[in-house]
Amino acid sequence: MTVERTLSIIKPDAVAKNVIGKIYSRFEDAGLRIVAARMAQLSQAEAEGFYAVHSERPFFKDLVAFMTSGPVMIQALEGENAIARNRELMGATNPQEAAPGTIRADFAESIDANAVHGSDGPDTARTEIVYFFGEDALGA
């Protein structure tokens, strides 16, 4: 059994829709535990730093503008295979391609306003958890 932690963000579109609780229920029903959480209004520098890997992509400027357009809810999730499990719950990046019953299929409108972020692997999960919560949130 691999107990992992992953970084999740409920993006401004989903916070505006008032579905934080519904999304949290999906995490909990799937066996993921919220071990750190905070609501934040990201600054431009914080959003740019978080998405630095995408800085050369054509959508980068719009992505940063979107992520700073309103409050986000940031959490670290813990559970068995938490990284992959959260990605399954989220669904595909483009909500039009996301499987029925996934968070993006149910709550997202478009590829740029797609409701949630989730770390895509162990290295990014560690980096992203430390980015928002510091080393202590990495767990044992």
> 139: which residues sit within 8 A by CB, 6+ positions away?
5, 35, 78
Give the containing element (helix H, strand E) for 65.
helix 60-67
Q: Residues 26, 117, 129, 132: which is the catalytic one?
A: 117
Among positions 111, 130, 137, 138, the unique one binding ligand UDP when judged by CB under 6 A: 111
Does position 117 bind ligand UDP by CB under 6 A?
Answer: yes
Residue 117 CB, shortest distance to ligand UDP, in Å, is: 5
Would you count residue 93 as binding ligand UDP (CB under 6 A)?
yes
CB atoms near residue 31 (< 10 Å): 13
Nearer to ligand UDP, 7 or 136 (CB): 7
